[in-house]
Amino acid sequence: MAWPEKERYPGLLESFAFKYAKRWLVVFVIVATVIVAYFYKDHADVIAGNTIVARSNLNLIVATDKTSPFPAKKLWVCPMHPQVIQDQPGECPICGMDLVGMDQPDADAHPHNPSVFIDAATQQKLGVRLAAARMQTLSQDIHAYGNVAADESLIFNLSAKVEGVIRKLHIKAVGQQVHEGQVLYEIYSPELLKSQEEYINLLEEKDILVAPMEDENAHVSGKSTMTEDDMMALKMNAEKRVLVRDSLLHADAGNELINELTSTYKSRDVVEVRAPQSGFVTRIEAHEGSTVKPMDNLFSFVNLSRVWVEVPLYPDQLSWVKDGDKVTIRLPQSDMREINTNLKFIAPTVDAMTRTVLARVNVDNAGNMLPLGLFLDVIIHARPHKALAVPRSAVMRTGKGDFVIRAEGRGHFTPVKVETGIETADLIEITAGLHAEEQVAVNGQFLLDAAASMSDAAQRMHNNHNAGDH
């Protein structure tokens, strides 16, 4: 057999190498694809910033098919960062807290009602305690402060009744105490002078009409009795005198001027104006030498024999307070007794500045022991109220409402939105969301709520992932 020529060797070797290289390249590509797909599907972690969530762990959170013979795998989550999920105990890579064990919920749980399962050992570690919602009688003493204010029904203004010039003021300062009949100011008034002269003329006319009756010789002259005309004239004179006297009294001249005119028959150029009732001066608008006319306000007074104690109440206290509730007022002086009274008035409006509602108590102020503006300690004894209640610590207040963690039994817990009512130091009324005897967590509920939120979020992520696969 003849050997190929030497120059043909390179061509044969090149054809042989090219033929088998293509086959090995195809095998290599298939093996590489299988390896990449395996690690991408079962071992790839999703890492976004500080968020670490294992894809295989998410699939274990939700319930598997009821026909599956394999139990759900236990997961471990961070109480502060529920997005951190691992299939073994350890520490949170974000905050360093110990992860909390959590088994998956029942397969038949409602998909829109997030719940979480916490085994007995974990509940003991968290210190979870339960309490039942029960009908209870709620009562509370509301401690507030009160401010002494003037009783508006005892505030009065003194205005000028006639035109004239004020010659002298006897009231010097606001806060000055004034007694009924005390001189307030002196006024020169042509109108008052004219009324005095008219009153004096009527007095003189009266004297003339009754003079024959007072004469010692009247019985001798036969004039001991008045004629019918004289009696009619005397009656009209008396009526006119009453009218003039009332006009002087209306001008606050007082009975002192009437008595002086009756006894002296002389008028006064300057008339003293007197206080119609007692009180304390709260405003002065008159000045010596000023001209006044009818209806000009000169002074304001307040009678402090009875005062108001105004008590501002905040919105969370309004549901407790009602008209007629018993009130105890503690006076600042230790040697003075407490005042027991009743709530008389609750304003229907909210103060725009303080966002409070004003309640009011009437208090007798004999001896002016309560000056205006004094602050007092006020205790409102609210009437007992029967309602469904839970411990206050069981209610979580959030921006989306009030929630409790309801125990569903066998270690399952569900966040439930509730509506609350009145509160005491230990209890809070539940008006909607719970029924009597239902169990709620009274502590550790923030950790339970975080776990439930995490479980719900994982359920949605798992559903979205499955929907994308299909």
The amino acid at residue 216 is E
Q: What percent of the chain has a predicted confidence (pLDDT) above 70?
A: 71
Chain-centre distance for alpha carbon 230: 76
Higher pLDDT, 263 or 87: 263
Contact 380, 311 (CB under 8 A): yes
Contact 249, 258 (CB under 8 A): yes
pLDDT bin (cut points 50, 70, 90) of residue 70 is very low
Q: Give the Cα separation of 205 and 385 in Å (integer).
A: 76
Q: What is the token pair recorded at 16? A: 């042989």
* Sign of the alpha-carbon dihedral angle for 98, 103, 109, 110: positive
Q: Give the Cα separation of 283 and 115 in Å (integer).
A: 68
- The whole-number average pLDDT for the span 365-384 is 83
pLDDT at position 52, please? 37
Please give the helix or strand (H or E) that residue 34 lies within, else none.
helix 9-42
Please give the helix or strand (H or E) that residue 456 lies within, else none.
helix 445-469
- The whole-number average pLDDT for the span 155-180 is 90
Across 98-135, b (16+ Cβ under 10 Å) vs e yields ebbbbbbbeeebeeeebbbbbeeebbeebebebbebee
pLDDT in tens, 108-136: 444 445 566 777 777 777 677 888 888 88
Q: Give the Cα separation of 297 and 278 in Å (integer).
A: 18
- The whole-number average pLDDT for the span 34-56 is 41
pLDDT bin (cut points 50, 70, 90) of residue 66 is very low
pLDDT bin (cut points 50, 70, 90) of residue 193 is very high
Residue 25 has pLDDT above 70, yes or no: no
Q: Give the Cα separation of 329 and 243 in Å (integer).
A: 50
Could you give phi then psi for residue 436, rounded to 5 degrees? -60, 140
Write the CATH number of the domain with boundaries 386-440: 2.40.420.20
Provide the CATH topology of domain 141-151+304-383: Elongation Factor Tu (Ef-tu); domain 3 (2.40.30)
pLDDT at position 27, please? 55
Question: Where do the structural domains in the chain lie, given as residue ranges?
Answer: 6-40, 45-127+452-469, 141-151+304-383, 161-294, 386-440
